[in-house]
Chain A
Amino acid sequence: MDRVAGEAGDFTVTLLRKPRYVLEEKCTGCTTCVEYCPALCPDAFNQGLSQSKAIHIHYAQAIPLIAYIDDSCLYLKERKCRICEAVCKNRAIDFRQKPETLAVNVGAVILAPGFEPYDPRESGRYGYGRLANVVTSMDFERLMCATGPTEGEIRRPSDGRPPRRIAWVQCVGSRRVTPGENRYCSAVCCTYTQKQVILTKDHDPEAACTIFHNDVRSFGKDFERFCERAARLPDVRFIRSYVSIVGETAGSNVVVRYATASEGVREEEFDLVVLSVGMKPPAEAARLAERFGIALDPSGFCRVDPAHPLQTSRPGVFVSGAFAGPMDIPESVFAASGAGARCGELLSRRRGRLARERVFPPEKDVAAEEPRVGVFVCHCGANIGRVVDVPATVEYARGLPHVVYAQEQLFSCATNCAKEITAIAREKGLNRLVVAACSPRTLEPLFRDTLREAGLNPYFFEMANIREHCSWVHSLEKDAATRKARDIVRMSVARASRLEPLKEFTLPVHKAALVLGGGVAGMTCALSIAAQGHLVHLVERGEDLGGLARRLHTSLDGMDIPARVRDLAERVYANPRIRVYTRARVVSAEGYIGNFLTRIASDRGESEIRHGATVIATGADLYRPAEYRYGQDGRVLTLLELEEAIARGEERVLGAGRTVMIQCVGCRNAERTYCSRICCSAAVKNARRLKELNPAMDVCILYRDMMTYGFREEAYREAAERGVRFIRFEPERPPRVEAVAEGGASVLRVVVDDPVLGRTLAMDAGVLALAAAVVPAADAPEIAGLFKVALGPDGFFKEAHVKLRPVEFATDGVFLCGQAHYPKHLPETIKQAYGAAGRVAALLANDTVVASGAVCEVLERRCIGCGSCIAACTYGAIRISETKAGPKAAVNPVLCKGDGLCNAKCPTGAIVLKHFTDEELASQIDAAADAAASETLNRKAG
């Protein structure tokens, strides 16, 4: 990025593009050039642990999967070599490329440059770079990875031996005030370390794993369970201690010094030490900030207002991901969708103007024709061709039943080859196509379009994977690989001959959204959807909008919450596209993506709402403690009640000589195996406030692990500096609270065993505040049932995929945000609400949605109405209805996901998964066996 001019809605961004020296439209990613390239260089993607070549693909899953040439190229340096040019059969190398300057006109900008892992050399304290067997967690990640330098075998750098004793050191570069390190918590390291431990034990069950940690910050959804899973593994130790790296032994083992309460200072040897490094702002942050004219915060990350966490200081420039501060993948993903929603708000009136529709010729009806199969066998450059005898495979294919045409191709996926397939299909009157090449995962959609171009139904296509399933895994057995390629092709031809044309059907989309829940999540989401041009029905169970946030007053990051909630509610009420229903209840919900019908009873009476998308933002409840004399003694409050009392200026609270807070009340226990995420910050916030209002007050926080992750760490440190006392307790020995009569008055006494001092402390509290857990909303199971979505083991709503689809449900058209998903801070809730709005807008922007043709259908004649299929369907897609011929199942194809479980359970073969019918699959099984038969014959003959 060179420079940016203009303003929100109309920017001109000047980009400088370095030459790739490879023509993107010609390169197929076959990597033959990489093999022949003589210029070795350290592989940056593998942390320099292995060698790469001057021409290479960044990594195995890179998109686009295209090679590029870097500075270590001999030709670029010394005008020699050009071997890659000679070996590229597709003529994709182009050394004439020059740097290009391009100006792009855009309405909005999203900054997502990510973060940089902390380099332990910056502090010089950990021996990294000096001791061979001290690696960073990023190095270790590559060492574990199947595509890494050791192909997934964990070997230590000094001698390539598999390490048996491995230590992880947490908080490297994070949570420290020492020079060269960062003060904030990097938020992700505790959990990624647990992941590495679990994977290490998977690789080598004998490995002994030790984690030296400070607080274990398992504050994310399902993190606590994950942490317990790691801790339960044999030979895994979690040791709460700072460590220093002493040095190495003659055998290059690393000596680590640490201290525990029970054993004092110790030294221990490890085969390998992994430094769990934190996050740093990206190297280019300062330059980016200067060019864009945006503000950075003191740690060098992008500055954001907590109330507008996706917005930089420059209008029209948004931010997503860890550039705005340490965050994990799920949060990055929903923040990205949210940043998209913010752009959508700005640009929605221009939505679709640049879109072009692809027009295909009309589809021919070939139902009456005999199968005429065409087979195209791909060389994939040398990937397939040098192992599998491609010409022989083509010849073999020609002799298979129904095959009327076969040929080889250099790269079937290249544009010219795809065109050739279309042309030949027309010329030869082919009605089924088999491409024998690579995995259908990436290229099946492309070839289906190739069929459409030829006027054929796209389901008349079958891909035979002779690369991943054959040439790549049998590269040393060429004859056997060629035989296997024939088998695969024969099976594909058999199946192709039985394929049926399927219709993908389009459903109209009703361009309105239903948002359930009028808290900060629901209101933010509703406003964003409305700003993108769609009608929103906002349904709130309470009397007014605002949700739990109405009870909050301040936040650690300085947000004026009451003002923010008021502002949101006013904007919601004033928005002509938002209809608010208060004191509302969902009576019934039916329908599917694009076409939901929900009945609501509310202050407006009974309403029937048609909507294309549903957002569940129903929030969470608070646990009502049964412990620590709550409800029996007026001096015992919850943290939220304490916050309200402070806001009201109650003297009994502000004038107390001592306030004690107890964390983790009602969660992180056997009943609720999760951390409520927000309470530690709330405790610090209230402690800080009490100290401000009454500096003489003694404030004690009794905690297990302080979950002040990210920039909240600074507030934690500051509170400690101001004299707030933090006393840790072990879960096995929680604090005890009793009312003691002393000097004629009742004293509230808190007793706690301090594991650090090894002593039992007793303190009399004027006020005791309990960090009561955030619990799933009472109506969550009912809502989940109505909208056919799932709840997780803790009772919160379960997203479709933790990382890949964090605001969606497995049920299409239903989305999720806020505390209904999991407890979270307001900025996170706001980001997730925008994230959900982004997904909703992406759906509602279309006039129609397309449903797959590969779904189930019922052959009524064969159905006996036994209901086996219904029990097998997790999507509620099958219903039984009474007909003249008895009860019969029927599939709603829109709800069907095409898993086919019903088909396998049906006793009569009445329910059929189209495109994977018994007949189609059986033809493949029979064709596979044909070879077995012919091989037996060969063996006998031999």
Chain B
Amino acid sequence: MCSGRVDLAHVIRAFENGMDGVYLGGCRLNECNYITHGNYDALAMVLLARRILQHIGLHPERLRIEFMSSADGMLFAEGVNDFVRTVKALGPLGRAEGLAPGEVAARLAEVRKLVPWIKLAKRDKLAARLTDPAGREGHFTAEEVAALFREVPAYYIDPQKCQACRICAGRCPVEAIDGGKQRVHVIDQERCIKCGTCLAVCPERFQAVTCFVGVPPPPPPAEDRRTPVRRKKAAAAP
């Protein structure tokens, strides 16, 4: 595995576990022994993760990436020692930032749930090869990350339009859509990863899925009110 295998979710998981700092070591940039150069992917991920930490009120210095070869033992030792000093100076996660333990956990859990959406929304920028050091710090901006969190979409199936065709339920990658043959489908917002597959696959003639941004979607219909409203074939033709 390559340093580019390290997932944003792994970093968040470490912090959720109460780690005060996370340090990533990758090969020296531009010295990939393959043609992968995945350390650039790791770098972009770290830059984004640092902005996210900042966004949720945690010190971005708690996450660091450094690049070295297997012969750079001293560099590694110095890098880790310096990082440990930095994190110790910051103090325990959350407490240093003036956040209650429950609050830190809640914010991190929120980020964890959004990791799939973040990966999709920032897909191109996460794959960027930031060869110019000058362009790294500004690659992701605080404003951009704030917007990212502001604009989290929510998908909603209109009970008036859903024909219970089961296509979206079948294609949802995380099985977040509940719905039988004769029942209006409902998205479990807790499980939904906001990939938009349901919107993409809902047949054109039904258009039952809507994307809400910035406002919460209406609540789903009650269990006993999920009988589909059948479209009349005749009505379909003008």
Q: Do A and B actually bind?
A: yes
Q: Which residues of A contact B (CB under 8 A)?
A: 146, 152, 473, 790, 798, 800-801, 804, 810, 854, 861-864, 866, 868, 871-872, 874-875, 885-886, 897-901, 903-910, 913, 916, 918, 921-922, 925-926, 928-929, 932-933, 936
Which 9 residue pairs of A and B lie closest in terms of their CB atoms, listed nearest first? A929-B17, A900-B5, A899-B2, A907-B116, A908-B173, A901-B4, A916-B1, A862-B173, A907-B119
Instruction: Verify if B86 is at the interface (C-beta below 8 Å from A).
Output: no
Q: Which residues of B contact A861 (CB under 8 A)?
A: 173
The reply to whether B14 and A868 contact each other, CB–CB distance below 8 Å, is no
A713 to B192, CA, bound (A): 72
Select which of A862, A886, A929 is within 8 A of B201 by beta carbon.
A886
Closest residue to B172 on the A side, CB-wise? A864
**Within residues 1 to 18 of chain B, which ones have a CB less than 8 A from any CB in chain A?**
1-2, 4-10, 13-14, 17-18
The reply to whether B41 and A904 contact each other, CB–CB distance below 8 Å, is yes
Select which of B8, B14, B36, B38 is within 8 A of A925 by beta carbon.
B14
Q: Which residues of B contact A (CB under 8 A)?
A: 1-2, 4-10, 13-14, 17-19, 33-38, 41, 45, 71, 73-74, 77, 115-117, 119-120, 123, 126-127, 170-171, 173-174, 193, 195, 197, 201
Select which of B4, B14, B18, B37 is within 8 A of A904 by beta carbon.
B4
The reply to whether B77 and A903 contact each other, CB–CB distance below 8 Å, is no
Select which of A901, A907, A921 is within 8 A of B38 by beta carbon.
A901
Q: Which residues of A contact B9 (CB under 8 A)?
A: 918
Q: Which residues of B contact A868 (CB under 8 A)?
A: 119-120, 123
CB distance from A607 to the nearest CB of B (A): 30
- The majority secondary structure among interface residues of chain B is helix
A899 to B10, CA, bound (A): 16
Most buried by B among A810, A874, A885, A905: A905
The reply to whether B74 and A885 contact each other, CB–CB distance below 8 Å, is no
CB distance from A355 to the nearest CB of B (A): 29
Given the interface contacts A907-B117, A922-B13, A926-B17, does A901 sit within 8 Å of B36 by beta carbon? Answer: yes
The reply to whether B1 and A898 contact each other, CB–CB distance below 8 Å, is yes
Given the interface contacts A146-B73, A152-B74, A904-B4, does A929 sit within 8 Å of B34 by beta carbon? Answer: no
Select which of A871, A905, A910, A929 is within 8 A of B19 by beta carbon.
A929
Closest residue to A921 on the B side, CB-wise? B10
CB distance from B234 to the nearest CB of A (A): 31
Q: Which residues of A contact B171 (CB under 8 A)?
A: 864, 885-886
The reply to whether A904 and B34 contact each other, CB–CB distance below 8 Å, is no
The reply to whether A932 and B19 contact each other, CB–CB distance below 8 Å, is yes
A502 to B116, CA, bound (A): 27
The reply to whether A908 and B174 contact each other, CB–CB distance below 8 Å, is yes
Select which of A798, A875, A886, A899 is within 8 A of B4 by beta carbon.
A899
Given the interface contacts A901-B38, A922-B10, A925-B14, does A906 sit within 8 Å of B5 by beta carbon? Answer: no
CB distance from A926 to the nearest CB of B (A): 6
CB distance from A453 to the nearest CB of B (A): 26
Q: Which residues of A contact B123 (CB under 8 A)?
A: 866, 868, 871, 905
The reply to whether A932 and B17 contact each other, CB–CB distance below 8 Å, is yes
A419 to B21, CA, bound (A): 41
Select which of B18, B35, B74, B193 is within 8 A of A146 by beta carbon.
B74
Given the interface contacts A899-B34, A925-B10, A925-B14, does A906 sit within 8 Å of B119 by beta carbon? Answer: yes
CB distance from B132 to the nearest CB of A (A): 16
CB distance from B20 to the nearest CB of A (A): 8
The reply to whether B2 and A901 contact each other, CB–CB distance below 8 Å, is yes
Q: Which residues of A contact B170 (CB under 8 A)?
A: 885
A183 to B36, CA, bound (A): 44
The reply to whether B18 and A910 contact each other, CB–CB distance below 8 Å, is no
Closest residue to B22 on the A side, CB-wise? A925
The reply to whether B18 and A933 contact each other, CB–CB distance below 8 Å, is yes
Q: Which residues of A contact B173 (CB under 8 A)?
A: 861-864, 908, 910
Kindly list 12 other residue pairs between chains A and B, CB separation below 8 angstroms, not including A864-B171, A900-B4, A908-B193: A874-B34, A886-B171, A900-B38, A901-B4, A904-B5, A907-B117, A908-B195, A918-B10, A921-B7, A925-B10, A926-B13, A932-B18
Closest residue to A871 on the B side, CB-wise? B127
Given the interface contacts A899-B5, A900-B2, does A801 sit within 8 Å of B117 by beta carbon? Answer: no
A916 to B77, CA, bound (A): 26
Given the interface contacts A913-B5, A932-B17, does A801 sit within 8 Å of B33 by beta carbon? Answer: yes
